[in-house]
Structure 1
């Protein structure tokens, strides 16, 4: 994508850590606001349902509407940014998200709430991919790891601190403030975006690929919807399977069209880059399984071990501490060992940290549990950042927009798949528990569920071993 605002882009590159880190921090803050909004609402659903006069289960449609809107619109984000300019699109996305948040807090009906969640989804679908694209386009290669680490932490932190924060706000204020808090944050972000966000756009305007948008939108709609159906406790396996099969057929149609179209919505040429292809394939599975941990751990502590929500939340904060503690060491470690060696070694630690969760018990020493979860947080953070940095390390600048769109789409699917894999592994663990006669062991279904997740993580790790030894060396600048 050629820039129509070369002076802005060159200024960003020359300013090094100043301008680039400012843009990265702005984008990361917007990411955090968007990711946190998606996780904090879960604990507020019962109170919101009472206010609307419906059951909490009925209000789940608000979460589903948001996720499905995100899924359908993300594939078009690259084209929109190229067509109208990154600064304009990012600022408008922030404005839409902020206004929708305000009206989410003011609405008095389920219908109004769902409509505002759809509007929030429209803003989020443009905000996250376009923000990441700007950072990728304006960050020099030697600073890419640091920038990606900055963009990664919201996705790691929000699922962990979101539920307890939502509970705190709902208990000591009201659920409305979950949405009202986004308003001042969004307004500040809009002002900063207009001042420091580069106005990147394409000099050559591509026509909008209607067929590609329809095919990719249908793919994401069916796959995300099918995965969410599988993650529910009461589920029709036939309906879920039919929806996923429809999504896979739509995926085949999408790929076939995008390969043949003269001006495709998403250029698949970036998949010819070996490092990008492998991180999209094995990295997708790793992101999905690692994402299942924040979903499974609180359930195991509360349902399996009988802990209170506060006790479970306190323990899971050790994962959050590990995520933060790894950040300063990420860049030095990647430069010391290189991507391939570090991702394989750290991947093994990821597998083991998930596997050893199977040996936790209600009477396990609290310090032992905290150390295990802390190590899990360390490895989780490193793997997310390493994979995300390597994905774009060798992608040519001309293909960056489409690569970013593919990566954003993959992230959205991996997030949904993580919860689904967690739920399915727990159910499989329950079946194995009954079959093996271990029903008298407290939390055994969850223990076996973690074993299953660890094995799936190992499968994703195998693909990483196929990386070339020098993969991403232009970014890692391995010292020796």
Structure 2
């Protein structure tokens, strides 16, 4: 169900932008949100009462300033719509708030985001590897439509009909992901799918308008397939060594890291485009997008490193992967 949005979003948004107005890609969320509110109140039952943790208001404020300041600062530096000094100042404020938050988290019994969770090896590697990989994924919906519209000459609707094929690949992966991880385990499967997924990001840097459209869509299909295989595994590995008492903290940190890494992907891609265009001092050209794809893929491919360090049976209780024991030679009898 979560893939309904990625499938319908690009063609629907492209249709609205091409034939109505770009404003509709924002306004259409209003009726969808209202329908969601009605369905939530009617279909979801009230949760059982339990002992709730107190809300860490100071931690909420400090962490919000940290993430907002750093991400906004990098966005301004990479796409300088306003003076870049504001971006550097925002980053400084975010870093200071982050240091204050770490100090605060050590002193409060219930921090809103508990840094001690990173002592869990599987959780730590899944968050780091997943965040690096999502930088590439965050760049995809930013770079691909722009490249198709500005350099290939496609309309937003044609661009949406091209890019949504990646979501089809993501759906296809769901039919084999469980068997894949059961057969090969988390570390090896995540490492291979990370390398393949990033390779398909880099391939986008080789496409030109002369390339057959079916070949472009085929690469997007297989890229979506491999990336979805990766996400299915890494989202499960996050909770592989987390007990029930800390599940809510793992969920919160995982959700925050996902949003931050996707936003970082846009900042990295925008920065690469800005630097590439400044080098020749003109408008964006196809070569600038090619450079941005290679930069994004180079950053995202580092996601394979954390999984290389894990033992082959890491998270086997979740994946169901069982390593066959090595048969010991039978000693010869005299």
Same fold at TM > 0.5: yes
The 5 Å alignment of 1:76-475 reads 153=3, 157=7, 160=10, 163-164=13-14, 166-167=16-17, 170=20, 176-194=27-45, 199-200=47-48, 202-203=50-51, 205-230=52-77, 232=79, 234-431=81-278, 434=280, 443-475=286-318
The 3 A distance-change label for structure 1 pair 174 and 303 is closer
Of structures 1 and 2, the one scoring higher in RCO (CA 8 A, sep 6+) is 2
CA RMSD between the two structures: 2.9
State whether residues 77 and 84 of structure 2, in contact with CA within 8 Å, keep that contact through their aligned partners in structure 1: yes
Deviations 1:194-240 (A, max 9, x none): 2xx6x25543x444333222221221231233244345452322211
Which piece of structure 1 moves more, 407-416 or 339-348?
Answer: 407-416
The runs of 5 or more residues in structure 1 that have no matched partner are 1-24, 29-152
- Pairwise CA distance, 1:193: 0.8
| TM-score, normalisation: structure 1 | 0.61
State whether residues 17 and 156 of structure 2, in contact with CA within 8 Å, keep that contact through their aligned partners in structure 1: no
Secondary structure of the residue aligned to 1:293 is: helix
Once residues 214 and 104 of structure 2 are traced to their aligned partners in structure 1, the CA distance between those partners, rounded to angstroms, is 54
Deviations 1:268-324 (A, max 9, x none): 332111011112223211112222111101111111222222222221122122112
Deviations 1:332-368 (A, max 9, x none): 1111111111111111111210111111001101121
Secondary structure of the residue aligned to 2:239 is: helix
Q: Which has the higher helix share?
A: 1
Once residues 49 and 250 of structure 2 are traced to their aligned partners in structure 1, the CA distance between those partners, rounded to angstroms, is 16
Once residues 155 and 259 of structure 2 are traced to their aligned partners in structure 1, the CA distance between those partners, rounded to angstroms, is 31
State whether residues 276 and 395 of structure 1, in contact with CA within 8 Å, keep that contact through their aligned partners in structure 2: yes
The runs of 5 or more residues in structure 2 that have no matched partner are 324-334
Pairs aligned (count)? 322
The 3 A distance-change label for structure 1 pair 161 and 281 is farther
Structure-1 residue corresponding to 2:320: 477
Secondary structure of the residue aligned to 1:395 is: coil
Once residues 386 and 309 of structure 1 are traced to their aligned partners in structure 2, the CA distance between those partners, rounded to angstroms, is 33
Once residues 233 and 267 of structure 2 are traced to their aligned partners in structure 1, the CA distance between those partners, rounded to angstroms, is 24
- Pairwise CA distance, 1:386: 1.6
Once residues 471 and 265 of structure 1 are traced to their aligned partners in structure 2, the CA distance between those partners, rounded to angstroms, is 28
Once residues 426 and 330 of structure 1 are traced to their aligned partners in structure 2, the CA distance between those partners, rounded to angstroms, is 35
Once residues 11 and 178 of structure 2 are traced to their aligned partners in structure 1, the CA distance between those partners, rounded to angstroms, is 25
The 3 A distance-change label for structure 1 pair 335 and 301 is same
State whether residues 283 and 464 of structure 1, in contact with CA within 8 Å, keep that contact through their aligned partners in structure 2: no
State whether residues 291 and 419 of structure 1, in contact with CA within 8 Å, keep that contact through their aligned partners in structure 2: yes
